[in-house]
Structure 1
Amino acid sequence: MDLLPLVEETRAGIVENIHIGMICGVNNRLETQFHLGDDSHYTFFRSASKPIQAIPIFLTNSIDKYNLTKEEAALFTASHRGEAYHIAALESLLKKCPVTEADLYCPASYPLNARPKEEMIRNGLEKRRLYHNCSGKHIGFITACRELGYPVEGYWEVEHPLQQHIMQILSILSEVPVSKITVGLDGCGVPVFAIPLKSMAITYLKLACPELITDPQIKNAVIKMTTIMNASPLMIASERFICSTLLEDQNIVAKGGAQGVYCFGLKEERLGFALKVLNGSEEVWPNIVASILEQIGYCNKETIARLRALKPSVVRNDSGVEVGTINEVFSLFNTYEDSFG
Structure 2
Amino acid sequence: MKDHAPPHASHARRGPLERGRSSTSPWPDAPVLVEVWRSGFLESVHRGAVVVVDPGGAVTWSAGDVGRPVLPRSANKPVQATTYLAAGWRPRSGVELAVAAGSHAGEDGHRDTAAGILAAAGLDPSALGCPAALPGHEPTRAAWLVAGRAPERLAMNCSGKHAAMLAACVAAGWPTDGYLQPEHPLQQAIEARLSAAAGEPVAAVVVDGCGAPQHGLSLTGLARGVGSLVAAPPGSPERAVADAVRAHPWYVAGTGREDTDLMTAVPGLLVKGGADGVHVAALPGRGAVAFKLDDGGDRGRAPVLAAALRRLGVGEDVLAPWATTPVTGGDGVVGEVRPAAPLAG
Same fold (TM over 0.5): yes
Find the aligned partners of 1:296 and 1:281 in 2 and give their Cα distance: 24
Aligned to 1:314: 326
Aligned to 1:15: 42
Superposed CA deviations along residues 55-89 of structure 1, whole A, max 9, x for unmatched, are 1222255436xxx2322331111110012222232
Once the two structures are overlaid, the 10-residue window that deviates more, 120-129 or 86-95, is 86-95
| Contact 2:51-2:61 within 8 A present in 1 as well | yes
| Contact 2:288-2:312 within 8 A present in 1 as well | no
Structure 1 residue 94: Cα displacement:
3.5
Q: 1:101 to 1:35 in 2, by over 3 A?
A: same
Q: 1:257 to 1:165 in 2, by over 3 A?
A: same
- Gapped runs of 5+ residues in structure 2? 1-27
1:148-159 to structure 2, matched below 5 A, reads 148-159=172-183
Residue 188 of structure 1 is aligned with which of 206, 210, 215?
210
| Contact 2:78-2:226 within 8 A present in 1 as well | no
Structure 1 residue 42: Cα displacement:
0.8
Aligned to 1:323: 334
Of all paired residues, the percent bearing the same amino acid is: 28
Find the aligned partners of 2:98 and 2:344 in 1 and give their Cα distance: 35
Find the aligned partners of 1:152 and 1:87 in 2 and give their Cα distance: 20
| Contact 1:34-1:332 within 8 A present in 2 as well | no
Once the two structures are overlaid, the 10-residue window that deviates more, 235-244 or 156-165, is 235-244
Structure 1 residue 9: Cα displacement:
0.7
Residue 252 of structure 2 is aligned with which of 209, 214, 236?
236
What is the TM-score normalised by the length of structure 2? Answer: 0.86
Residue 137 of structure 1 aligns with an amino acid whose one-letter code is K
Residue 289 of structure 2 is aligned with which of 248, 259, 273?
273
Once the two structures are overlaid, the 10-residue window that deviates more, 132-141 or 79-88, is 79-88
| SS at 1:25 equivalent | strand
What is the TM-score normalised by the length of structure 1? Answer: 0.87
| SS at 1:63 equivalent | coil
1:263-302 to structure 2, matched below 5 A, reads 263-269=280-286, 271-299=287-315, 301-302=317-318
Aligned to 2:236: 220
Does 1:173 find its partner at 2:200?
A: no
Find the aligned partners of 1:90 and 1:142 in 2 and give their Cα distance: 11
1:39-58 to structure 2, matched below 5 A, reads 39-58=66-85
| Contact 2:55-2:285 within 8 A present in 1 as well | no
- Gapped runs of 5+ residues in structure 1? 335-341
Q: 1:132 to 1:46 in 2, by over 3 A?
A: same
Structure 1 residue 329: Cα displacement:
0.8
Residue 307 of structure 2 aligns with an amino acid whose one-letter code is S
Find the aligned partners of 2:316 and 2:36 in 1 and give their Cα distance: 27
Does 1:262 find its partner at 2:279?
A: yes
Find the aligned partners of 2:169 and 2:309 in 1 and give their Cα distance: 39
| SS at 2:236 equivalent | helix
Residue 323 of structure 1 aligns with an amino acid whose one-letter code is V
